[in-house]
Chains A and B, each alone.
Chain A
Amino acid sequence: MKYCERKIKRNTIYLSSEVTNMIKFFLLVNKQGQIRLSRYYEPMEIHKRTLLEVDIIKNCLPRTKDQCSFVEYKDIKLVYRQYAALFVVIGIDDAENELAVYELIHNFVEVLDKYFSRVCELDIMFNLDKVHIILDEMILNGRVVETNKSRILVPLLALDKMTES
């Protein structure tokens, strides 16, 4: 009990206020359960990430299409969406709006589609850095910071142009 209180206090110093409406992580997983992209917005050790990912895959992948797209996993809510053989899974806290996050996934995929023109799993595998750059424009510190598709792509397109020339 005491320990918990202290822990909470510690967190409050670190983040200065309770963190709500927050995205905890962003994952891309294929149907075989292989991770294609992962981004954590809270510090977590590598081996813990792997364990968490295994659990997440177990929780989300077997679900049928007509089941709810939100899953509870410990104190995290998982919001997932399937695109062909690829799953996007986002972990959020209880105060976040599940449906808004669900649509955020679609927005992200639309941006990828726009950039890669008809994105597929291979595009993501071979351009991991670029997908990360796109994601960094959209989500920072677990908050949605940009959803305007053309604005999201501005820095990356400029970088591509400069690199080409």
Chain B
Amino acid sequence: MQQIQDQAPPSMVKDSRMVEADEEKLIKKELAALKEQVSTPTTSLKQMRECLVRLIYCEMLGYEASFGYIHAIKLAQQGSLMEKRVGYLAVSLFLNESHELLLLLVNTVLKDLQSTNLLEVCMALTVASQLFPPDMIPAVLPLVEEKLQHSKEIIRRKAVLALYKFYLLAPNQVQHIHDKFRKALCDRDPGVMAASLHIYLLLIKENPGGYKDLTSSFVTILKQVVGGKLAVDFNYHSVPAPWLQIQLLRILRLLGKDDQITSELMYDILDESLRRAEINHNITYAILFECIQTVYTIHPKVDLLEKAAKCNGKFILSPKNNLKYLGLKALSYVIQQDMNLVLQHQMTIIECLDHPDPIIKRETLELLYRITNAQNVAVIVQKMLDYLRQSKDEYITISLVGKVAELAEKYAPTNEWFIQTMNAVFSVGGDMIPADIPNNFLRLLAEGFDDEVEDKQLRLYAVNSYLALLEKNNIHYPQRFLQVMSWVLGEYSYLKTEAKAEDIIQSLHYLLGKCSASLETKAWIFSAITKLFRLTLNVKVLPEVLQNYGNSMDSCLRQCSFELKQLVEDKEIMNTVLPLDESCNDIVVDASLSFLDGFVADALGHGAAPYKPHHQRQEERLSQEKVLNFEPYGLSFATSPQISSVTGRQSPTGLSFNSEISCNSTEAGLKDSDSLKLDGVKKVWGKEGYLRKKKESKEETVASPNSESDVTADFTSTAEKTAGLSAEEQEKKLLASSLFVGLGSNNLVSLMGKNQSTTQKFRRKSKIVEGQNSYERTMSTQKAIAPPLAQIPNLMDNVLESCNPFQESKAMLLRKTASDSAEVPTEEPAQESDEAWNSSNNLKTIRAVPSASKESISGLFADGNFDIVQPGNCNSALVAHEPNSSLSPGLPVEFAEHSHSKFELVCANENIALFSCKVWKEDCLLIVLFFTNRSSIEVTNATVNFALTDELQACESTDFPFPLVESLATVKCQLCLQMMKPCARVLLTGHVTYHLETSQQTQEEFALALFLTDFIRPLKLTTEEFGHLWLSLSNDVKQNLSFTSDSPEALTVALRTLQQELKLHIVDIIGAEGIVACQLLPSTSCLLHCRFHAGILSVWLRSGCCVLPDCLLYECQKVIQKL
């Protein structure tokens, strides 16, 4: 059809079969020529298209052509049809989402979306679904939404895909059009429906519970697709829309997981899918693969599982490698549910282990890793190590080495095996090995297990094995391995009574002399030598060591040797500094250096100048020198708030700079996360030096080791069959029985071997704080007197820099909270009774008192300066269906002072009524629930029970029993709630059960809607604190909100409204910028920076939680829209 192109072939394509050096020269030349041509004004659009294609070519070959980016945007703007399309294409290839030039594209997209030419609309939608600046989504959103109703399917389809992209970029922007997605799902055209599935897959992954009602729709769609109801052109090799089927199966999998009722809806269609896929084509296997996963994920049905297992057999037994690979992948997935399936295919798996294709081997090892237990660990680890020895790939080595170490630690049958395996890991892993493996290993050795005797044996075995390894000459060991060896020898050589310490020192000394050891390793070795000297009185080697390293060029080694000299001379110090077998006790450092206080006081008394921290000295020097300052000036609001007038878009980070920071050495704050953590550390070093500590009685529970249950292989049946087979096959059978031991059905308990703690050999003692396995930890536990360099000097710096600024609290000119509420028009939507912040126009607002700047964030509400918004008189505003006044509940006095909502009837019948009231306390949302007995008889054994979802957390129990409620009486219960996961709206459900006299128990369900705003509280900060906090928060969202008013007061009005409606705290308003802070209970803070310019309010939110900014922005949007 389109055979010969009118364009001239790019010259570089013509000669592209050339050597690389020539290629570079040619392309550089071509780029230069193109650069000239694109900037020539006479270049026609057609030529420009050609140029851009060539530029695409250059970038594809790895040569940046950034000069052409702007021309791509221009071509998209000016060209028509094909030129325009190529312009858009080049833009999508050249730029990424954050590129600033992308903003220039927005107008073009807007224009093309409104074009009458369908092709242009198509292009605009395509590019919008490839990349679009997130800030500008609101500009095109209405146009894209409009296209959902377009008469052409292709436009509707592309509009859905663009919305999908917008959802990826900024989920909160498309929150309001979820209904339209449903419409797209029901579109008469299958293409549009298929496009909407991408959005649904994402939505359902995030919240499977919210879309269960769509299950039957998805099932119906899949039924129609499988049944061949689609047009023939959707077929691929006579299989109807295979990729669509795959997508639907994935969605069903998410919906049916852990949900029997939903799963039952899909059994039929899964059965049919498994049956239909009998054509022997790759694509049917691809569908089958998804089917198998779905069947094994949803609530199980025996019949289906059997069929799926049979299908899986087809994969594994296939001679085609692609299918075999997929079969192994499916099997590793399936065994999470059913280990027995592995047994069916054990011989095939054995064959795959020796497969010539390494990727199949890898996948097999992955499978074996998942079925490892205490009985087959030796064989499996052996196979993994074999693979490791052949593999050269760094990525694979790292991941596999980690797995071997994990398995060895969990299931090691004997000490010898464990040490040998770890030795293999260290030598095979070489220097690629991640640091946490040796660290974990050493920690394991040092901290030991529950059995003292076994610990000793393990350590002794390690010592023996390392000594044997060091005997061998001319073998090069990786650095990490050498470090491990020297640490172990230094710590535990004393266990080996028959060896002479000086011999070990000798061999370590020899090691030290070898140039192959890195500096870090040498420090390890030296510290081991030092430790060994405490075991021996024979210091024959000492002079040699001191001579070699006493004047070493390396300062670290030199220092080590001096320390060694001192320690050897004074055995007493040696024994206190390097006690035997105490590597697990922490060294305590008095970081405040309080023992120097006397010295400092003396010095000051003698007229010494007080200490000034480094930065202070520098500043003073700077101010003296009066040199030009090349640094940008920090915004110092405390001194002159006028400075930060509206100069461009300034980030509030500038607020944090403050020049007056003084420091107090004894209170040097160690809160800085970078500095040493000293909480709970015993004090060992004091004024007099080392403080001797009392010997603590060891509370080591000596538990008997888990006797390795002698589980004989349940493969007697397999073994029987082996008779009469060739030797090779017998070998395989043997391997099979050793690999799959412990997986049989009569051994079900150990199926879960990996999670089962009893089979875990090296269980860590509980005292160990997990997650602290960083390198430093090991460093600190080893009492090495020669820590690697560069660790010590940092300490001082950190201490100094983290000093709290103890500045005089500058009275901040805080804007009073809406002190005259008349200024702020508050509307009164009567129907939204639950939004009590709007509900009363009698808002009595208590002024926020400017609080001292030293106030810490945690103690925000300690001083009680809480913006309290009290509805004027609540009771008079009770809803119509309120029962007579004697029954109407009254809020206890202690809550009346807090702001609270109206009473709401949550559930009622002829006998009882439940009213709720939200009380917005400082530290929680208090739900007060009133249980009213309306009947004329008494109610007994009433219980109110709240069911909490993940999002919410209650302070105490959620059950409230009321043994007896008299007729016409009201009792109350209260529930303190905090929001753990931010979300715009959450339902608090629950039920109340009660007995009426002796009759049957009655149950009533109820539900209460809670909103994000219920949990938002003001966060009182000063501008400085705001600045500091702003810098420490990482999740941010920016958004421009259009704003009708353009008066100079607009920002103040907007912020005050936000303050009222959302309970935010206005920290400061300067010119056209304002900073606002709030927190989500219990303690997630969120900071807002608002800037008003030309009718646009730019809001920039930051928080420590990634979801909160989105949710809060949504609330702000709602409030601002109402203005």
Contacts and interface: CB of A to CB of B under 8 A. Distances in A.
A15 B168 contact: yes
Contact of B236 (A68, A72, A107, A133): A107
Contact of A6 (B49, B171, B205, B1034): B1034
A141 B246 contact: no
Interface in A4-56: 6, 9-10, 12-13, 15-18, 20-21, 32, 34-35, 37-39, 43, 46-47, 49-50, 53
Residue of B123, B357, B360 contacting most chain A CB atoms (<10 Å): B357
Nearest to B167: A16
B61 A154 contact: no
Contacts of B359: 68, 70-72
Contacts of B356: 67
Contacts of A47: 62
B62 A132 contact: no
B89 A129 contact: yes
Residue of B82, B86, B287 contacting most chain A CB atoms (<10 Å): B82
Interface string A132-165: 1100110011011111111100110011101100
Contact of B321 (A68, A130, A132, A144): A68
B242 A159 contact: no
A100 interface: yes
B62 A127 contact: no
B154 A154 contact: yes
A69 interface: yes
A75 B285 CA distance: 24
Nearest to B164: A141
A21 B250 contact: yes
A9 B1106 contact: yes
A83 interface: no
Contacts of B86: 129
B104 interface: no
Contacts of A10: 1034-1035
Given A1-B774, A97-B290, A150-B233, A141 B1034 contact: no
Contact of A162 (B81, B93, B1106): B81
A145 B198 contact: yes
Contacts of A53: 62
B325 A155 contact: no
Given A46-B59, A159-B119, A140 B161 contact: yes
B81 A141 contact: no
Interface stretch (B9-17, B725-733, B758-766, B973-981): B9-17
Contacts of A70: 322, 325, 359
B165 A141 contact: yes
Residue of B1, B130, B165 contacting most chain A CB atoms (<10 Å): B1
A133 B89 contact: yes
Interface in B185-220: 191, 194-195, 198, 201-202, 205-206
B326 interface: yes
A99 B171 contact: no
A121 B983 CA distance: 53
A135 B798 CA distance: 54
Interface residues of B: mostly helix, strand, loop or mixed? helix
B27 to A, nearest CB: 12
A141 B286 contact: no
Contacts of A155: 119, 122-123, 154
B387 to A, nearest CB: 13
B899 interface: no
Interface residues of B, number: 90
B142 to A, nearest CB: 21
A13 B283 CA distance: 35
B47 interface: no
Contacts, number: 187
Contact of B191 (A39, A73, A151): A151
B915 interface: no
B243 A128 contact: no
A61 interface: no
Interface in A86-118: 97-100, 102-104, 107, 115-117
A159 B85 contact: yes
Contacts of A159: 81-82, 85, 119
A53 B10 CA distance: 22
B266 to A, nearest CB: 19
B241 interface: yes
Interface residues of A, number: 73
A71 to B, nearest CB: 6
B64 interface: yes
A99 B168 contact: no
Contact of A126 (B13, B17, B170, B395): B13
Contacts of A66: 321
A99 B154 contact: no
A43 B9 CA distance: 29
Contacts of A133: 85, 89
A72 B393 CA distance: 10
A99 B322 CA distance: 8
B56 A128 contact: yes
Given A9-B1106, A140-B129, A17 B206 contact: yes
A103 B168 contact: no
Contacts of B322: 68-70, 98-99, 102
Contacts of A21: 201, 250
Contacts of A69: 321-322
B130 A136 contact: yes
Interface string B564-592: 00000000000000000000000000000
Interface string A61-82: 0000011111111110000000
Contacts of B360: 68
Interface string B581-605: 0000000000000000000000000
Nearest to B7: A126
A126 B57 CA distance: 11
B283 A158 contact: no
Given A102-B322, A128-B53, A147 B236 contact: yes
Contacts of B357: 67-68
Contacts of B9: 125-126
A130 to B, nearest CB: 8
A137 B125 CA distance: 11
A163 B82 contact: yes
A35 B1106 CA distance: 39
B93 A13 contact: no
Contacts of A12: 1106
B246 A97 contact: yes
Given A141-B168, A147-B236, A43 B97 contact: yes
Nearest to A137: B126
B130 A141 contact: yes
A163 B130 CA distance: 24
A132 B282 contact: no
Residue of B2, B92, B161, B285 contacting most chain A CB atoms (<10 Å): B2
A158 B1 CA distance: 13
Contacts of A163: 81-82
Contacts of A72: 359, 362, 396
Contacts of B122: 155
A99 B282 contact: yes
A49 B250 contact: no
B794 interface: no
Interface string B1010-1045: 000000000000000000000000110100000000
B202 A17 contact: yes
B5 interface: yes
Given A99-B322, A115-B1, A162-B119, 8 more contacts: A9-B1034, A15-B168, A39-B93, A98-B329, A116-B3, A128-B53, A133-B85, A144-B243
List the 7 closest A-B pairs by CB distance, nearest first: A50-B62, A99-B286, A100-B286, A68-B321, A43-B96, A103-B283, A163-B82
24 contacts: A6-B1034, A17-B205, A18-B205, A21-B201, A35-B61, A37-B60, A68-B325, A68-B359, A98-B325, A98-B326, A98-B329, A100-B286, A102-B286, A103-B236, A103-B286, A115-B2, A128-B57, A140-B129, A141-B129, A141-B168, A145-B195, A149-B233, A151-B233, A155-B123
